[in-house]
Amino acid sequence: MQHGMMKKRLAIELGMDPSYLSCVMRGRKGQPAQDLVDHIAIVVGLTVDEWDELRREANCSGRRLHIPKDATGEEYHAVHELVGRIGQLDSYQISAIREILKIEPRMDSARRQRRMM
């Protein structure tokens, strides 16, 4: 009950409906606007590091992904394969994927030419 009261008080301080804030916090309203994220950080009194973390989390909260038009078929299929596994990955697999994504890609000549256009 106390947690719910804290959310309600926060919603009032933010000037928003408590049920809307609850949906935003649970990721049911899509990615929150940057000004809302900043307003929450100010009202709650977050440190700079906490504020940065909140921004990163908010940026990841969008449920829809955009695949760039110039993505290769191989990239497109890799994204769909990964999406199909969401909810089944363990922490080891997620860590391995993140490490692989840190590797600087080698751009093949066809892609290099497309990006230069």
Write the DSSP assignment of 47-113 as a string of letters.
-HHHHHHHHHHHHH--S-----TT--HHHHHHHHHHHHHTTT--HHHHHHHHHHHTSPPPPPHHHHH
Residue 46 counted as domain residue: yes
**Mean pLDDT of the region 83-111:** 87
Residue 66 counted as domain residue: no
Total domains in the fold of the chain: 2
Identify whether residues 7 and 55 lie together within a single domain: yes
Residues 92, 97, 100, CA angle at the centre, nearest 5°?
Answer: 125
**Mean pLDDT of the region 80-98:** 94
Residue 65 counted as domain residue: no
CB-CB contact of 67 with 79 (8 Å): yes
State the Cα–Cα distance between residues 113 and 117, nearest whole angstrom: 7
pLDDT band at 78 (very low <50, low <70, confident <90, very high): very high
Q: Which domain holds residue 105?
A: 73-116
Identify whether residues 40 and 9 lie together within a single domain: yes
Identify whether residues 43 and 13 lie together within a single domain: yes
Long-range CB contact pairs, 69-74, < 8 A, 24+: 70/111, 70/114, 70/115, 72/111
pTM metric for this prediction: 0.54
State the Cα–Cα distance between residues 54 and 38, nearest whole angstrom: 9
Residue 67 counted as domain residue: no
> Is it the case that residue 85 has pLDDT exceeding 90?
yes
**Mean pLDDT of the region 20-40:** 84
Identify the residue with better confidence: 38 or 117.
38
Identify whether residues 56 and 34 lie together within a single domain: yes
pLDDT band at 1 (very low <50, low <70, confident <90, very high): very low
pLDDT band at 113 (very low <50, low <70, confident <90, very high): low
**Mean pLDDT of the region 48-77:** 86
CB-CB contact of 14 with 23 (8 Å): no
> Is it the case that residue 112 has pLDDT exceeding 60?
no
**Mean pLDDT of the region 38-60:** 89
